[in-house]
Chain A
C-alpha cells in the first residue's frame, strides 16, 4: 500500500465510499429505471416498454393509487400552467410537490432573511436567540408532524376554529381536506426549516466587509440604501445556494405529510411511491424515476453553481 502512487492510493481509499454509494444509490437508481419498464414485477414480469409512463401521464394509472385525482382542479383548466396536459393523479402529485416547494421556499427565504438580520446584530442573549431559532430545525420530522397534527385535530386542537373563521382552513375534517392539509404542511415546513435558510444567509451577511458600511455612512446613505446597495447584492450568492438546497430538499417531502394528514389526502411524488411500491412495483418505479428526474433538474442547478466556482 505504501508503494502505491498518489493516484492509486487515492482510488484505494475511495473504494469503500464508492462501494457504499454504488450499492445504496447508483444500483437502486438504475434498477428502478429497469423495473419501471415492466408490469407484474412481483408475479410474472412482463416487459412493456414505456407503458407505465404513458399510463401515468395520461391518467390511466390513477385508479391504482390511493388519493384524490382531482386535487387542485383549477390547475387543469388554466392554460398557462405548464402541466396542463397531464391527467389524473400524477398531475395532482406534481402540483402538490411543486406548490409546496415554491410556497415554502419563498416564505422560508423571506423569514430566514429577517432572522439572519436579527442574528447579525450584537446584543445580549444573542446566543440564546440563535439556539431558539435552530431548535425547530433539529427536531425529528415525526415530532414536527405530531405538533401540527395535534394543533388541528378535531378534538384536541385549538387552531381549526379561529382559522376556519377567517376562511383559511376547512371547519370540519380539516386534516382530511386536501387544500387545508397542504396549507398546514407548508406552514409546518416553514416553521422547521427556516432556520437553515437563516444560518446560510447569516454566513453570507457576516462575510461582508464592515468597512463598506462606514464608507456608506460617511457618504450619507440611509439604512435602506445601505441594505439595497451593499447588503442585498453581496448576500445574493449565498442566498442563491440556500434556495437551491432547500428546493431540492423540499421536493422530497414525504414524512411530514405522512404524519400530519396521510398520503391519500395530500399526495406528493414520494408519497405515491410509498403508497404503491408493495402492490404495483413497475408503476411505483416509474413514479420514483419521474421524482428523481424532477429533482435532477434542481441538482443540475447546484452542479452548475459549483462548477462556476471552480471545483
Chain B
C-alpha cells in the first residue's frame, strides 16, 4: 500500500488540479469517501430546499402588503437579475386580517370537529375489525380483508352521485329492483354528510394498522382478563387496546391528518362553502381564492394558518406517521 501511494504521489506532480482530483477519487479510498460525503450533503440540501421553498414563498407573500407592485427579482453580482421572491414589507397584520375578512377560525374549527369525530368513529370500528382479523380464525377472513382493501381504493367520484342524492333527502332504492328502502334525512350542510364518507374512506388503513398491533398481544393476557370475569369486548377495550397504545395513536394521527387534508367531499357536501354549513378549511381557503381575488397576502396568510396544525403534528408525531404509512402498505 505504501509503495502504491508513493507512485501516485510522483504522478500527481505532473497533472493539473482537476486531473489530479479525478485521479485521486478513482484511486484513493479516502478521497472517494470524501466525494460521496459531499454528494450526500448536496443531495440533502437540495431536498431540503425543494420541499421547504413553497412554504417560504407563502411567508413572503403573506408579509408583502401590496403583492401586485412587488418585484420578485433579486440582483446578484455576476448573475444579474435572478427571479427569487423576497418579502417586500413586514405586514404581520395580514395574519389578523385573515380572521376578519372571512370567519376563518370557524372553518378551522369545523375541520377540527370533523377530523376528531371521524377519528373516534374510525378507531372504534377499526378496533372491532382489527380484533377480529388479528386474533380470531374464521372462514372468509382473507376474503373479507380483500373486500375492505378493494373498497378503500375506489375513487370517491364513483360513490358521489348516489351519496349526494341520499344526503339531499331523496329516497334510497335497492339498485336494479326499484324497491324504495327508506327516505333518509337531509344531511347536506351537516357534519354527518362528511363524517360518514370520511369514516368509510379512511377506515381500511386503520384496520390494517390495528390488525397488526392487536395480533401481537399474547393470548395469555387476554385469557387472564377473561378469567377475571371481563367479557370479550371488555378484554378488547380494557386490555388489548391500551397495550397497543402506539398502534392506536398511529391510526389516530393518520386518520386525523387524512380528514383535515381531504378535498373531494369537503368541497361538495357543504353546498355554498359557508362556515354555518359545516364547510371545513377547504371552504375557507377557496372563499379567499374566489371572493378576495386580489388579496394575495391574505390567501397566503390563510394558507399558513391552515398548515400550522399539520406542521405541529408532523414534528411531534413523526415516528408514528412513518411507521403507520409503512406498516399500512408493506405488511412484513
Chain A residues near B (Cβ < 8 Å): 1-2, 6-7, 9-11, 13-14, 16-18, 20-21, 23-35, 114-115, 117-118, 121, 123, 127, 129-136, 138-143, 146-151, 153, 155-156, 158-159, 161-162, 191, 195-196, 199-200, 202-204, 207, 223, 238, 241-242, 245, 248, 251-252, 254-256, 258-259, 269-270, 273-274, 277, 281, 284-285, 287-289, 291-292, 295-296, 298-299, 302-303, 306-307, 309, 311
For B155, the chain A residues whose CB sits under 8 A away are 251-252, 269-270, 288, 291-292, 295
- On whether the beta carbons of A32 and B159 are closer than 8 Å, the reply is yes
B197 within 8 A of A: yes
Q: When the two chains form the complex, which single residue of B129, B196, B315, B331 contacts A14, counting CB atoms closer than 8 Å? A: B129
For B100, the chain A residues whose CB sits under 8 A away are none
Chain B residues near A (Cβ < 8 Å): 36, 40, 43-44, 47-48, 50-52, 54-55, 57-58, 61, 67-68, 70, 72-73, 83-85, 125-126, 128-129, 131-132, 136-139, 141-142, 144-146, 148-151, 153-164, 172-173, 175-176, 196-197, 199-201, 203, 207, 231-233, 257, 260-264, 267-268, 281-282, 285-286, 289, 294, 296, 299-300, 303, 306-307, 310-311, 313-315, 318, 321-322, 325-326, 329-332
With A140-B263, A143-B285, A252-B155 known to touch, is A150 a contact of B296 (CB < 8 Å)? yes
- On whether the beta carbons of A252 and B159 are closer than 8 Å, the reply is no
A280 to nearest B CB, angstroms?
A: 11
With A1-B231, A241-B330 known to touch, is A191 a contact of B162 (CB < 8 Å)? no
B159 to nearest A CB, angstroms?
A: 4
For A298, the chain B residues whose CB sits under 8 A away are 153
B157 to nearest A CB, angstroms?
A: 4
- On whether the beta carbons of B314 and A138 are closer than 8 Å, the reply is yes
With A30-B175, A136-B51, A140-B281 known to touch, is A196 a contact of B325 (CB < 8 Å)? yes
Closest 9 CB pairs of A and B: A255-B263, A158-B72, A24-B200, A203-B326, A292-B158, A31-B162, A28-B159, A30-B175, A270-B157
A273 and B158 CA atoms in complex are apart in Å by: 8
A–B pairs, 22, beta carbons within 8 Å: A10-B138, A20-B125, A20-B200, A21-B203, A25-B151, A27-B162, A30-B175, A32-B162, A133-B51, A134-B321, A141-B261, A143-B285, A158-B72, A158-B85, A242-B329, A252-B156, A269-B157, A277-B160, A288-B157, A288-B160, A291-B157, A292-B154
B324 to nearest A CB, angstroms?
A: 10
A4 and B222 CA atoms in complex are apart in Å by: 17
For B67, the chain A residues whose CB sits under 8 A away are 155-156
For the complex, would chain A's binding face be called helix, strand, loop or mixed by DSSP majority? helix
- On whether the beta carbons of A131 and B314 are closer than 8 Å, the reply is yes
A94 to nearest B CB, angstroms?
A: 14
- On whether the beta carbons of B314 and A134 are closer than 8 Å, the reply is yes
A298 and B159 CA atoms in complex are apart in Å by: 18
- On whether the beta carbons of B161 and A281 are closer than 8 Å, the reply is yes
- On whether the beta carbons of B289 and A146 are closer than 8 Å, the reply is yes
Q: Please indicate which of the listed interface residues A13, A155, A251 has the most CB atoms of chain B within 10 Å of its own CB.
A: A13
- On whether the beta carbons of A147 and B57 are closer than 8 Å, the reply is yes
A18 and B148 CA atoms in complex are apart in Å by: 9
Q: When the two chains form the complex, which single residue of B47, B54, B299, B329 contacts A241, counting CB atoms closer than 8 Å? A: B329
A158 and B88 CA atoms in complex are apart in Å by: 14
How many pairs of A and B residues are in contact by the CB < 8 Å rule?
Answer: 291
- On whether the beta carbons of A309 and B158 are closer than 8 Å, the reply is no
Q: When the two chains form the complex, which single residue of A17, A30, A33, A200 contacts B207, counting CB atoms closer than 8 Å? A: A17
For B131, the chain A residues whose CB sits under 8 A away are 13
- On whether the beta carbons of A118 and B40 are closer than 8 Å, the reply is yes
With A156-B61, A223-B36 known to touch, is A254 a contact of B175 (CB < 8 Å)? no
For B231, the chain A residues whose CB sits under 8 A away are 1-2
- On whether the beta carbons of B157 and A273 are closer than 8 Å, the reply is yes
For B326, the chain A residues whose CB sits under 8 A away are 199-200, 202-203
Assuming A1-B232, A115-B47, A139-B261, what are 16 further A-B pairs, CB within 8 angstroms? A9-B136, A13-B129, A26-B151, A28-B159, A28-B160, A32-B158, A35-B162, A117-B43, A134-B318, A134-B322, A140-B307, A142-B285, A146-B299, A158-B72, A202-B326, A258-B267
Q: When the two chains form the complex, which single residue of A27, A191, A251 contacts B54, counting CB atoms closer than 8 Å? A: A191
For B48, the chain A residues whose CB sits under 8 A away are 129, 132
- On whether the beta carbons of A17 and B310 are closer than 8 Å, the reply is no
- On whether the beta carbons of A2 and B161 are closer than 8 Å, the reply is no
A155 and B329 CA atoms in complex are apart in Å by: 42
- On whether the beta carbons of B199 and A203 are closer than 8 Å, the reply is no
- On whether the beta carbons of A131 and B175 are closer than 8 Å, the reply is no
For A25, the chain B residues whose CB sits under 8 A away are 151, 154, 159, 200
Q: Please indicate which of the listed interface residues B126, B203, B261 has the most CB atoms of chain A within 10 Å of its own CB.
A: B261
B13 to nearest A CB, angstroms?
A: 27
For B149, the chain A residues whose CB sits under 8 A away are 302-303, 306
A34 and B207 CA atoms in complex are apart in Å by: 30
A274 and B281 CA atoms in complex are apart in Å by: 20
- On whether the beta carbons of B286 and A259 are closer than 8 Å, the reply is yes
In the complex, which residue of chain A has the Cβ closest to the Cβ of B300? A150
In the complex, which residue of chain A has the Cβ closest to the Cβ of B324? A199
